[in-house]
A and B are shown apart, each in its own frame.
Chain A
Amino acid sequence: MTGLAEIVIALMLVVAGIFGLVGSVGLAKLPDPMTRLHAPTKATTLGVGGVLIASMLYFLVFEGTFSFHELLITLFLFLTAPITGHFLAKAWLHRHGSPADLPPTGGARGWASYEPADDRRRAPADAPRRHED
C-alpha cells in the first residue's frame, strides 16, 4: 500500500515538475505577448495543482493526517488563473490592439470590450428599452 502510494506520489511530482517547467519555458520562448499568455495560465497551474495533490497524498499516507489546505489552494489557483488571464488579455487589447483586428461578432453590436461605457448600458434597438434613472 505504501509502496504503491510512493510510486503514485513520485510520478505526480515528476509530471508536475515537467508541467511547471513547460509553462515557464513557454513564457520565455513563445513569440508574442498573447501567445505567451497561454503557457503560464494553463501549464503552470496544472503543475502546481499536481504538486498540491501529491502533497495531500503524502500527508494522508505517511503522516496519517488529512488536510484540506491543499484542496483549498488548488481550488483557489484553478479559479483565479482564468481571471488573471482574462484581465491581462483585456489590458493588452486596450493598449496594443484595435477593434479592426478582431473578427466580426456576427450580431448588431460590436465587441463589448470596445464599446463606450454609456453605449454598453443601452439595450439593442429591437428590444424594449429598459427604464433607467
Chain B
Amino acid sequence: MIGPALYFAFASFGLALLLNLWRAVVGPTLGDRVLALDTMVINAIALLILYGILEGTAVYFEASMLFAMTGFVSTVAYAKFVLRGSVIE
C-alpha cells in the first residue's frame, strides 16, 4: 500500500519542482526567482527523503540536512544582497 502512495508523492513533488523551475525562469521579479529557488530546495529535500524510504536506507538524511542548511543560508544571503547590495557589511 505504501508503494503507490510513495510514487504519487514522487510524482507530486517532481511536478512541483518543474513548476518551480518555470517560475525561476519566468520571474518576473528578482524576489520571485529567489523564492522559486528556495522552494526548489525544499522540494528536493522531500524527494531525497522519499528516495530514502524507497531504498530503505538512512544515508539520505545527512544529505537532506545539508540541503536544508545551505538552502536557508543561501536564501537569506541572496535576500540580504537584494536588500543592501552586500551580504556582510
Interface centre among B12, B50, B72 (most CB of A within 10 A): B12
B87 interface residue per 8 A CB criterion: no
Contact at B16–A96, with CB atoms within 8 Å?
no
Shortest beta-carbon distance, B13 to chain A, in Å?
5
**How many angstroms between the C-alpha atoms of A52 and B1 in the bound complex?**
18
Contact at A91–B82, with CB atoms within 8 Å?
yes
The size bracket of the interface on A is: 35 or more
Shortest beta-carbon distance, B35 to chain A, in Å?
6
Q: Please, which residue of chain A has its CB at the minimum distance from the CB of B17?
A: A24
Contact at A73–B64, with CB atoms within 8 Å?
yes
List the B side residues contacting A18 at CB < 8 Å.
Answer: 12
Shortest beta-carbon distance, A19 to chain B, in Å?
9
Contact at B38–A84, with CB atoms within 8 Å?
yes
Contact at A28–B42, with CB atoms within 8 Å?
no
Per-residue CB proximity of B1-44 to A under 8 Å, as 1/0?
Answer: 11011101111110111011011000001111011101100110
B88 interface residue per 8 A CB criterion: no
Known contacts: A48-B42, A88-B34. The answer to whether A94 contacts B13 by CB under 8 A is no
List the B side residues contacting A55 at CB < 8 Å.
Answer: 49-50, 52-53
Contact at B82–A95, with CB atoms within 8 Å?
yes
Interface centre among B62, B65, B76, B83 (most CB of A within 10 A): B83
Known: A21-B16, A69-B62, A76-B72. 20 other contacts (CB 8 A): A13-B5, A14-B5, A17-B11, A17-B12, A20-B12, A20-B16, A24-B39, A40-B35, A44-B43, A58-B53, A59-B58, A76-B68, A76-B69, A80-B72, A83-B76, A84-B79, A87-B83, A88-B34, A91-B79, A95-B30
Cβ contact of B75, chosen from A6, A67, A84, cutoff 8 A = A84
